[in-house]
Amino acid sequence: MKKFLILGFTLFMFFFKSTATANYDKVFFDFKIDSITGENIDLNKFKDKVILVVNTASYCGFTKQYTDLQKLWDTYKLRGLVVLGIPSNSFNQEKNSNSEVKKFCEVNFEINFPLSTITDVKGENAHEIFKWAKENYGKSAIPKWNFHKILINKQGKIESTFSSLTNPMSNKLINSIEKIL
């Protein structure tokens, strides 16, 4: 019976690992990604900050969340929050070029938080940030749709993930951010 319990617990921990069980060979700050204008963003420049990584898309039903992502950024950036938008066509709902995405975000939502180039967020061609997230946090870190959110703590590890349905200004997300700021 004792062996069965140990085996069951081990399997449970394997399939439902969290930041407490992850063996981080790298942390978020070890990566780089290209900005929407093509410059390289060394994520190490965000060290000791809380990061909200959001895969975005221009033609999604959740696109209106850009408004609240900007509001979140405006409210918490001076306290150490960085909102990082990662436009993606992984779900076939993004514009064709980085310049179109940039213009769309600025004109329609007055976005001024950092945006990356159009980037794959799932599958074999996913950016290494998303492969790292899956490896260290499990399946809940993989975007199942646009506007999936990954909350990174000041140590560069995944604190939590939030589905597309979670509004950026929801109490659930804001409480998680305030707890680690």
Catalytically active residues are: 60
- The tokens of 49 are what? 């900050």
List, in sequence order, the alpha helices (H) in the chain. 2-15, 65-76, 98-109, 128-137, 171-180
| Residues 85, 68: Cα–Cα separation, whole Å | 12
Give the residue from 169, 145, 164, 34 showing the smallest Cα distance to 94: 145
As a residue count, the chain comes to 181
